[in-house]
Amino acid sequence: MPPDPSPLTSDVRKRLLRIARESIIHHGFPATRFQEESANRSELFEDRAVFVTLTKSGRLRGCIGHLEPQGPLWKAVADMACSAAYGDPRFPPVEASEIPELEIEISVLTLPEPLEDPETIEIGRDGLIVEREGYRGVLLPQVAGERNWDRRTFLEQTCRKAGLDTDAWKDPETRVYRFQAYVFGEKEDLAE
């Protein structure tokens, strides 16, 4: 089992949420200004895997991320926020009038590991990846907890997200992985 993702300080969480929002507002984030402001915050420069989730009135409005680190945490957040707002193929691009209504949630991920025993899945802690024959489905750890799913339902829904039969997770040809995430958002962190 990989270690839990390291928690980030309140200041770093707030800074990342600001980066995400500014990236959405400006269709990208001014890297030069950020690097000057944040040179003494080493955790922002660690290579980390990130997902950014956008909701509006409690409903999903976009969610995009990477399962493997793609660069420094601050840049991954900026890029994924912009992609969630303007590049999630499930939704039309966010319009300027919607931006004030968006709520941002950031998930900083651990590296995925093969799932050996489905009975060890911990709902609310583990996220799942299902892969088979070029198909892949990913569900973040918070999804199963928010929907009150049990382990089996979580596995079935991840298979469905991959475009596979819901029992594909039982097939030895299917690869199943788990990961954890350190999740924070504007509701909690900006209310402090």
Q: What DSSP line would sit under 132-179, residue for residue?
A: ETTEEEEE-HHHHHHTT--HHHHHHHHHHHTTS-TTGGGSTTSEEEEE
- Higher per-residue confidence, 27 vs 51: 51
CA distance 188 to 8: 13
pLDDT of residue 34: 60
Report, as an integer, the average pLDDT of 108-133.
Answer: 95
pLDDT at 125 over 60: yes
Average pLDDT of the chain is 89
Structural fold of domain 10-109: Glycoprotein, Type 4 Pilin (3.30.700)
pLDDT, tens digit, 9 for 90 and up, residues 55-82: 999 999 999 999 999 889 999 999 999 9
CB atoms within 10 A of CB 136: 17
pLDDT, tens digit, 9 for 90 and up, residues 133-178: 999 999 999 999 999 999 999 999 999 999 999 999 999 999 999 9
- Higher per-residue confidence, 54 vs 9: 54
Structural fold of domain 113-180: Dna Ligase; domain 1 (3.30.1490)
Alpha helices in the chain (DSSP H): 10-26, 31-37, 73-86, 141-146, 151-161, 186-189
pLDDT of residue 1: 36
Give residue 44's pLDDT band: very low, low, confident or very high (50, 70, 90). confident
Question: 151: which 2 tokens?
Answer: 């382990």
CA distance 184 to 148: 20
Q: Which residues contact 117 (CB under 8 A, 6 or more apart)?
A: none
Q: Where are the domains of the chain?
A: 10-109, 113-180
> Residue 43 corresponds to which amino acid?
E
Q: Which residues pair with 71 in a beta bridge?
A: none
CA distance 120 to 52: 26
- Return the percentage of the chain with pLDDT > 90, whole number: 76
- Higher per-residue confidence, 93 vs 46: 93
The model's pTM: 0.85
CB atoms within 10 A of CB 149: 17
pLDDT of residue 40: 60
Name the phi and psi angles at 148, rounded to 5.
55, 40
72 secondary structure, DSSP code: B
